[in-house]
Amino acid sequence: MKKPALNSRRDVIKALSIGTATSLVAASTTRAESVTPSQTEGPFYPDIDNDLTFVNSRKDRAKGDYLYVYGIVQDTEGNPVNGSLVEIWQTDFQGIYDHAGDENHAKKDPNFQSFGRCVTNAQGHYIFKTIRPRYYAAGRGFRTPHIHYKVWRRGFHDLTTQLYFEGESKNAEDGLYRQLSDDEQKRVTISLRPATDVHPKVQERLSSDFKDQAPVSHSLIGRFDIVLKIVSES
């Protein structure tokens, strides 16, 4: 059978594209591929524990108002989820992220860890020691003070969310916060109180995790419980 003539440059390009695509499909289905070699992880952040106020290899502490955030990770039935990996990241006391894309990055507090990680215990408890973040300009508006959360555990859907603070004047100006319904806002907004006003068991956790026999003077504390959805749930 005689092949049709290629009457234009467009016909030539189309023919070449079809031929290339066909050869790629054939190659992918007929050639056995070797497994990609693994390599060691790293380099790592110098410090990614649950105390963001202190960076290993530095002698000074982070600037700002100290803040303890704790809570329970649980499933939709109220059962604690032990072994969950909880990660947070946030700005320093000036509203600057540890990210090269932040135009003020050079002014960032070098003694603030910026990123933290904690694994829940058998009761689903987690806790962080950090500083109260500041608002910052975003486009024509502002992002209200917030802390980013990422939580995952095998068998559950990964959760990425943000924590907000009750009474912040910038909440009403934050587009992402305003997108949430009233009920959703309540579930991601926490109230703060003096850290000296805590339950004895919380005080025990402060002492064991941060070696704080008493909370840092003038520091605050707030509780943020997290609910994960089981993978099999619709």
pLDDT per residue as tens digits for the range 217-226: 789 999 999 9
Rounded to whole angstroms, the Cα distance separating 148 from 145 reads: 10
Residue 50 near residue 117, CB atoms below 8 Å: yes
The pLDDT assigned to 204 comes to 79
Residue 149 near residue 87, CB atoms below 8 Å: yes
| Residue among 34, 229, 212, 222 nearest 133 (CA) | 222
Residue 109 near residue 54, CB atoms below 8 Å: no
- Write out the E strands in the chain: 66-75, 85-89, 115-119, 125-131, 136-138, 141-143, 146-152, 159-165, 189-190, 193-194, 220-223, 226-228
Q: What is 66-228's CATH topology?
A: Protocatechuate 3,4-Dioxygenase, subunit A (2.60.130)
Handedness of CA 48, 117, 198, 145 (dihedral sign): positive
Mean pLDDT of the chain: 85
Residue 194 near residue 221, CB atoms below 8 Å: yes
How many separate helices (H) and strands (E) can be counted in the chain?
Answer: 4, 12
Which positions ≥6 away from 187 have C-beta within 8 Å?
none
Report the SS3 class of residue 62: coil
pLDDT per residue as tens digits for the range 86-125: 999 999 999 999 988 888 888 999 999 999 999 999 999 9
Residue 214 near residue 139, CB atoms below 8 Å: no
CA distances from residue 93 to 15, 130, 167 in whole angstroms, order as listed: 60, 10, 18
pLDDT per residue as tens digits for the range 177-209: 999 999 999 999 999 999 888 888 887 778 778
The pLDDT assigned to 1 comes to 52
Rounded to whole angstroms, the Cα distance separating 171 from 180 reads: 11
Q: Which residue has the tokens 């579930």?
A: 187
Query: Which backbone phi and psi does 222 adopt, to 5 degrees?
Result: -150, 155
Tokens found for residue 92 = 């320093």
pTM for the model stands at 0.80
Domain ranges of the chain: 66-228
Residue 61 near residue 92, CB atoms below 8 Å: no
Q: Is the pLDDT of residue 23 over 70?
A: no
